Amino acid sequence: MGEFSKPAEELASEAREYVDLKVDEIKLRTAKGLSVSVAKLLGMVLILGVLSSLLLVLSFGCILLFGEAIGSYGWAALAVAGLLAVVLAVLIVLKDKLFSGSFVQLFVKLFFGGDEDGKV
């Protein structure tokens, strides 16, 4: 009876090792995916912060130039705000096409890997 139980014990031991290795692999993939995601997110936040500041300064400059040209800074501010509102409306309408698909592909690629063409 001892001869038959020994292979079963070895099989159980190897199965435990396999499961432990798979758990470690999942942990490593998750850690890698999360660290890359957080790094990209922080990079995007930094870029968006600088871009927002740049847009604010450019808008203020356009208001000053346009206001001097038409003689009213108030109307110039409304014109620039209207232009920015149109840009915002276009971004809201196109948000699914611009952002959703690309983020889904990015996270799938990060967490599940993929080849150079971006295919999973």
Longest dimension (CA), the chain: 102
pLDDT given for residue 47 in this prediction:
94
| The pTM of the whole model exceeds 0.75 | no
Backbone angles phi, psi at 118, to 5 degrees: 85, 5
| Amino acid at the residue 33 | G
Listed by start position, the domains of the chain span 2-112
pLDDT given for residue 31 in this prediction:
85
From the first residue on, what is the mean pLDDT of each consecutive set of 10 residues in the chain (120 residues)? 69 89 89 84 91 95 95 95 94 79 69 55
Q: Which two tokens stand for residue 108?
A: 């799938």
pLDDT given for residue 70 in this prediction:
93
State how far Cα 100 lies from the chain centre: 10
